[in-house]
């Protein structure tokens, strides 16, 4: 897969998430405007002023963090190889994708903040692969909701990062084609059928692989298997 394909998919995916980022920013901006108005109405009473200023500062910092992380991960770049931890990548991408990951009554279940889950590769590319899998899980539960569970386990020198949804699962007839570039069962033009192919390409470049299965209990389990660092 050409690098340009990865970057095109990155821009398309993050473009779909702009409304979610706008929603998150608007929530914090409402706090800023509300407490600024309160300051204006109530006057300069020291205690109230300090409390309002604290709320404004906190919300302003959250807005700045959302925009900073979104800009960091959306920016096209030449890939680098560096050590990173799963917990840091997860916490940063959830910061700006919380709305998209939680829509449709989906509850995101995160693993513990384990600094030992270390990998080597391009952290922004791995985040793109992980986001593609997470958003696929959200879409699989559209209309019904459920839990989207992220887990990790170490096996034979590899970290296995898993994403399990509670959707309808992958039909057997479709399963052999899910990693084909451009293959999709969705009619929405926003879905290009490139999420899983790009994810597998990125993880393969790190020396790992991406696999999928439909467990007997239902849903879909996607495993990103990456060498431990």
pLDDT tens-digit profile of 70-81? 999 999 999 999
Sheet of 220-227, strands arranged across: 106-109, 146-155, 158-165, 220-227, 209-213
**Would 41 be classed as within a structural domain?**
no
Does residue 20 lie in a domain region?
A: no
Whether the predicted pLDDT of 126 surpasses 90: yes
42 has a pLDDT exceeding 90: no
We report the CATH number of the domain holding residue 222 as: 3.30.565.10
Structure tokens at 78: 């030449």
Residues of the chain above pLDDT 70, percent: 96
pTM exceeds cut of 0.95: no
Asked whether residue 29 is assigned to any structural domain, the reply reads no
Which are the contacts of 113, defined by CB distance < 8 A and separation ≥ 6? 87, 91
- Does any domain span residue 125? yes
- Can you give the residue range of the structural domain that contains 184? 80-227
Asked if residue 72 belongs to a domain, the reply is: no
In this predicted model, what pLDDT tens digit does every residue of 163-212 receive, in sequence order?
A: 999 999 988 888 889 999 888 777 666 667 899 999 999 999 999 999 99
For residue 194, the tally of other CB atoms under 10 A from its CB is 22
Give per-residue pLDDT as tens, 213-222: 988 888 999 9
- For residues 89 and 126, is the Cβ–Cβ distance under 8 A? yes
User: How far is the C-alpha of 101 from the C-alpha of 98, rounded, in Å?
Assistant: 5
What's the pLDDT at 45? Answer: 64
Q: In this structure, is residue 108 part of a structural domain?
A: yes
Give domain status of residue 103, yes or no.
Answer: yes
Residue 159 placed within a domain: yes
- Structurally, the chain folds into a number of domains equal to 1
């Amino acid at each position: 897969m050409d690098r340009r394909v990865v970057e095109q998919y990155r821009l398309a995916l993050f473009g779909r998430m702009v409304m979610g980022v706008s929603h998150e920013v608007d929530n914090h901006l409402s706090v800023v405007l509300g407490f600024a108005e309160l300051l204006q109405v109530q006057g300069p009473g020291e205690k109230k002023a300090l409390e309002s200023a604290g709320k404004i500062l906190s919300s302003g910092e959250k807005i700045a963090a959302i925009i900073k992380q979104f800009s960091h991960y959306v920016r096209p770049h030449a890939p680098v190889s560096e050590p990173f931890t799963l917990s840091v990548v997860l916490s940063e991408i959830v910061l700006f994708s919380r709305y998209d990951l939680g829509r449709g009554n989906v509850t995101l279940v995160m693993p513990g903040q384990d600094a030992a889950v270390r990998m080597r590769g391009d952290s922004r590319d791995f985040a793109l692969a992980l986001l593609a899998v997470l958003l696929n899980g959200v879409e699989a539960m559209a209309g019904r909701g459920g839990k989207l569970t992220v887990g990790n386990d170490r096996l034979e020198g590899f970290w296995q990062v898993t994403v399990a949804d509670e959707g309808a699962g992958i039909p057997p007839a479709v399963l052999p084609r899910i990693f084909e570039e451009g293959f999709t069962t969705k009619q929405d033009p926003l879905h290009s059928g490139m999420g899983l192919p790009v994810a597998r390409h990125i993880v393969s470049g790190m020396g790992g692989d991406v696999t999928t299965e439909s467990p007997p209990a239902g849903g879909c389990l996607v495993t990103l298997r990456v060498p431990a660092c």
